[in-house]
Structure 1
Amino acid sequence: DLGFCGPADKSSTSIYGNLPYIAPEVIVGRGYTFASDIYSIAMLMWEISFGQPPFMDYEDEHILVYNIIDGIRPKIVPGTPLEYKNLMKECWDADPLKRPDANTLCNKIHKINLYYQNMSDELFKSEMDNLEMNKVEENYTSSRLFTSKIHNFGNLPEPRNATEVEEQEVFHSKLYDFSIPNNINDFNKSNEQYSKKLSGDSEKLPKEFINLQNSNKYDEKEIIQQQMKRKDIDID
């Protein structure tokens, strides 16, 4: 479900759909268009190339929403054919006017299809092996974000495209999210650095995002403290 349909009792200010596939302009309340469908197709194109749904490593929909409207997209797998990659990036552009229309998209996909149909078996196998080799074998299918439901996000900033540096920062920060420090002092030090970064971005972040991230931060600290206590008991 890409979000075009929804429950009859859905309010006019809310949106309905599977969040990772919903276009940023729809998330901020502009309504569905043919261009927003093209964005959703880009997410399907990424899913085909990677083998898993987009953004499956996210557990918090508010953080995902902020990243989507700030231009963050799923990381493209190295080895993805250049024509396919460029078309996918055109389709998920933050500006709906820069996305191809349905006819253009269909024609470009047809050309890509013909190119690979005329390719020798050896070269085709080599390209597919290269793509498979660069895939990350992870499974996040338990993510609660991968369901269609009603969303209400309030006031959000204007969607934009992220720079390459910003995308890399987000990918590296996801590695931080899944790491547990060796001791609580290391966590406190990392936490202070994270808090400074958060305060620097506070002018762009809606208040509900800041409160949510602060709440998650303290919950994470408490969990790690409990883990460290258990670790000390086991050693004794």
Structure 2
Amino acid sequence: MEPPYLDLIRQSYDAVAADYARTVNDPSGLDPLSRAVLGAFAELVTSADLGPTADVGCGPGKVTAYLTGLGVSAFGIDLSPRMVGLARAAHPELRFEVGSMTALETGDGELGGILAFYSTHHLPAESLPGVFAGFHRTLAPGGHLLIVTRVGDDGHRRLAHGYGGPAVPFDSYRLPADRIAGLLEQAGFVITGRTLQEPGEGAKRPVAGFLAHKPDAVAPQG
């Protein structure tokens, strides 16, 4: 059974998909730190060359296309069919799928990278261990993960509007950065870098970035 919060996310983003695609900046227009983090991630996954990169919560595909422009073999996954439709129309040369990061259909170890760019904050805290375990399962040993998300003091905020579209709810769960880091480590990831953008430094609210990788398989002893 699908958790009820996923259907709410789907309905809300379906409702604002066109407005979102029109109002949200292309990644080339992001602040320097955000572009630098995306660039570092792109360099890591292209250098490792372990498989394609999944952009989970890809929306209309702008970040997926940006990664591709940096040399990444990337495809997008989004819960909203309308977002995926817009992504396919805007970038017909790229692959986009309807799906959920809570139940990735990718096989074990098939991915060289996973990007979750402003998408995990919509998920309640209790769902994150399972989501991060899914990321770990689908990444190849040595594969890289980048999460960029809003952070806070365990607050839950519900907005009644978003992106200039109709009145639909948007839930945001803002966990402390250290708690997110701990959950990633519990899932088996090694964190290699963290960023924190305070409001006014390219972000309206505190935003944290986590670069991590899945350790290489350890050879059996003896």
For normalisation by structure 2, the TM-score amounts to: 0.25
Higher helix share: 1
Q: Which has the higher contact order (CA 8 A, sep 6+)?
A: 1
For normalisation by structure 1, the TM-score amounts to: 0.24
